Amino acid sequence: MQIHALEFYAGIGGLHLALKRNRKFSARVVRAFDWDQNAIKVYEANHGEIVTKIDISTLSASFLASFQANLWLLSPACQPYTVLNPNAKGSLDPRAKSFLHLMQNVLPELVARKEQPKHLLIENVGGFEASTTRQFILSQLHSLGYTTAEFLLTPLQFGIPNSRLRYYLLAKAAPFVFPTSIQSGITYRCIPPPSDSDSDSSSAWIDPRDSETANVNAMEISHYLDSEEQDDSATYAIPDRVLEKWGRLFDIVLPTAKRSCCFTRGYTQLVERAGSILQTNMDLDTSKTFDFFFAAQAAGDTEVKVNAVSILHPLQLRYFTPSELLRIFHFNPPSTYTNAPLRIDPLVLDSNPRVDDTHRKPNFEPFIWPPNSGISTKTKYRLIGNSVNVHVVTQLIDFLFHGDVCGSELELF
């Protein structure tokens, strides 16, 4: 049995890549849908010309049935639900229309035709779990004969130094069901081990933000940075005008850090809650250096005020590069990443703290930007910020299909 998938809101193909990276069963995306032309260019450069540029709210049940897909992968717009938007409108937002169309109109018709997908995976921003859309989707899926499992997960749980909390909804249609330990209406903070596993299911992950005693078992950020040969720090240095006005709002991390803030589509364009920046000089104390800077800004001497920002230059502050974010999002896992990591435990490291993308596991083909496409650095940040963490989704796909493929028991990584 081969899994045939449809990918909605495909973006640059993070869900496709996660499905491709599973090592337990054969699967392929037979058609993807998106509206963003730049995203489609990137998708096609990596996955072939299987993307249809279309308004998803116009898709019909008969058209989708023609693909005979048994899996739907969906990452609908998060803007209607994000906590970063105080004016978020949820289901009333026009950007939620197409997702509601699929769930309210298309899926029921496919069920009536007995041509519905047997499995679904939906990804959205943390905050979706409190929306009325989530309540409607759950009610709709249950009425159509699906069982569901919900999760709030962050890459930190999988040894990746990035705090990107995301909501995931998994669904199965009869005869497939989730383990009896999964209860409807509960949003889980970790993926439970399979019933035949020796893992301790009681050892749920503890968010270090919620407990002073919780450890962050993640790789250092240094493993995700460009190599010295690739170093282009000057290009990504924080502009003085930004440091002068907004420097105090940045989340600044060192290469030795084991966490970073969520990188959003507005990275480099916004300051607060858009993603961390990197301090490459680890010999200086960040707080003390900024204290000197603030004191200089408050000085009565005009010349001292004008030159105050120069105090911050030795910190060597810069943005993460697009290639570094592709590693953090696990589109291009670093060479220190093992091909068979433990599900929650820290990833196995080798002795090389730098990244060399040429030494990659055989089934990890490098993710590329299409050559001569005219895609700007700003657009790359937007496309990555709109995407998913590939490794996290791969783990969820394994859980979704555990025990369902060819009657065999699948094991989580």
Catalytic residue ranges: 78
Structure tokens at 37: 């032309």
Q: How many Å separate Cα 297 from the centre of its chain?
A: 38
In angstroms, the CA 381 to CA 236 distance is: 12
- CB contact set of 278 (below 8 Å; sequence gap of 6+): 221, 225, 252, 253, 254, 255, 317, 318, 319, 320
Minimal CA–CA distance to 241: which of 320, 309, 321?
309
Contact 110, 64 (CB under 8 A): yes
Structure tokens at 220: 């250092």
Instruction: List, as one string, the DSSP characters of 28-76.
Output: EEEEEEE--HHHHHHHHHHH-S-EEE--GGG--HHHHHTTT-SEEEE--
Contact 363, 213 (CB under 8 A): no
Q: How many Å separate Cα 31 from the centre of its chain?
A: 21
Bridge-partner residues for 188, per DSSP?
A: 151
Instruction: List, as one string, the DSSP characters of 206-262.
Output: --TTT-TT-------GGGGSPPGGG--TTTTBPPHHHHHHHGGG--EE-TT-S--PP
Buried b (16+ CB within 10 A) or exposed e, 97-116: bbbbbbbeebbeebbeeebb
